[in-house]
């Protein structure tokens, strides 16, 4: 099996996800929930045999995760996932003023760059000071 992602950060994320699926036997949990909520009008999504097939083959040892930058990046729909503390005034920050989506790669970069985290007011003041110089 091959999974194609946009960048190395996404590759590592998918690797860790597959590892969790295997080590925590999450497919068994999925199957139990699928059986529990199945009705005559809404049958199980997958049969027991299909869960077994996935359990036997959706394994990190048998899955190649490839990077192809032409593939769309994974993105968060809600940029409020980005949170921090303003380095200038200490206020808690959340999201972006422009409401844009954010890729997983960008999220990791932002969360690792805490020394440049600013609230909107402090960010605007910094831009004005930089422009004045």
Instruction: Please give the residue range of the domain that contains residue 83.
Output: 75-132
Considering the domain architecture, whether residues 49 and 106 belong to the same structural domain is answered as no
* The last residue of a domain, from among 37, 67, 97: 67
Considering the domain architecture, whether residues 57 and 20 belong to the same structural domain is answered as yes
Considering the domain architecture, whether residues 100 and 121 belong to the same structural domain is answered as yes
Considering the domain architecture, whether residues 85 and 123 belong to the same structural domain is answered as yes
The predicted pLDDT at position 16 comes to: 95
State how many domains the chain has: 2
- Ordered per-residue pLDDT tens for the chain, 133 residues: 899 999 999 999 999 999 999 999 999 999 999 999 999 999 999 999 999 999 988 887 889 999 999 999 999 987 788 888 999 999 998 888 777 889 999 999 988 888 888 888 888 898 898 888 7
The predicted pLDDT at position 59 comes to: 82
Say how far apart CA 77 and CA 75 lie, in whole Å: 6
The structure tokens 């190395």 sit at 8
Considering the domain architecture, whether residues 83 and 128 belong to the same structural domain is answered as yes
* The last residue of a domain, from among 67, 91, 108: 67
Per the confidence metrics, is the pTM higher than 0.75? yes
Considering the domain architecture, whether residues 47 and 103 belong to the same structural domain is answered as no
Considering the domain architecture, whether residues 29 and 83 belong to the same structural domain is answered as no
Considering the domain architecture, whether residues 100 and 122 belong to the same structural domain is answered as yes
Environment class of 10 (CB within 10 Å of its CB; exposed 0-12, middle 13-18, buried 19+):
buried
The predicted pLDDT at position 41 comes to: 94
Say how far apart CA 12 and CA 15 lie, in whole Å: 5
């Amino acid at each position: 099996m091959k999974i194609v992602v946009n960048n190395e950060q996404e590759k590592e994320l998918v690797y860790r996800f597959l590892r969790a699926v295997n080590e925590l036997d999450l497919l068994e949990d999925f199957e139990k929930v699928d059986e529990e909520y199945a009705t005559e009008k809404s049958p199980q999504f997958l049969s027991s045999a299909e869960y077994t097939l996935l359990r036997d083959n959706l394994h990190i040892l048998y899955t190649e995760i490839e990077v192809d930058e032409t593939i769309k990046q994974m993105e968060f729909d809600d940029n409020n996932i980005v949170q921090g503390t303003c380095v200038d005034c200490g206020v808690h920050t959340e999201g972006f003023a422009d409401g844009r989506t954010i890729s997983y790669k960008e999220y990791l970069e932002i969360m690792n760059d805490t020394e440049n985290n600013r609230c909107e007011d402090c960010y605007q003041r910094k831009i004005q000071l930089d422009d004045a110089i």
